[in-house]
Amino acid sequence: METIKYTTLIDFVLQALKEIRQRLKNKYLSLSSLVDYFDYNMPYSDVVGLAKYLETRGWAKVVYMLGDVKVQITTSGILHIDEKGEGFIDEYYKFLYDLRQLGKEEKTKLYEGLINIDEKLINPKEKILNLIEHVSKKITEHEGGKTDYSKDLEIIKLELEKSIPDFRIIEEKLNRFNNLNYLFDDIQELKDYLSNGNGLYPQSMY
């Protein structure tokens, strides 16, 4: 199935948020899960960028969390979607019917999928810990045995397992990996998951 345009994804996300808002007025949804719901391949850094765009336009309220972003549509977002008209709604449902291979009589299944979307979400902190494990294996393959880098990763992991991580320590340890070119993409992805959109989370946020 052909990937939708980025602008279409934004409108589809808002339509989904509108449907949730109409039934569950205080519900925030995981933006990562919504992007996956529309089968759109997007790195986490772009999910954060999308959240910031929705927030800047005033279309969504955004809560940045460790490893995820929660969103809820605003009145401005609802007005933006309402101006799209019936043709847009038809396009939205046709895309979802085709994506889920459902008939029109099964519309309730689409809504149920949205309601339960967060239940299928992997714990964001677990994603981060899995990525640390992946980085650790790469270091062992390239450096051999236990290294100072491996010890730094253990310290990062221990900090993240605390209820109040010290992100100054985490940032200091991550910066030690800057000279390892083979880990550049992985470390950057790890930093993205530990970011609130403006850098690593400060300790004061916890």
| pLDDT of 98 | 87
CATH architecture for the domain at 6-120: Orthogonal Bundle (1.10)
Phi, psi torsion values for 129, nearest 5 degrees: -65, -35
| pLDDT of 100 | 82
Residues of the chain with pLDDT under 70: 1-2, 118-122, 145, 196-206
DSSP class per residue in the chain: -PPPPHHHHHHHHHHHHHHHHHH-TT--EEHHHHHHHTT----HHHHHHHHHHHHHHTSEEEEEETTEEEEEE-HHHHHHHHTT-HHHHHHHHHHHHHHHT--GGGHHHHHHHHHTGGGGSPPHHHHHHHHHHHHHHHHHHHH-SS-HHHHHHHHHHHHHTSSS--HHHHHHHHHTTTT-GGGHHHHHHHHHHTB-SSSBPPGGG-
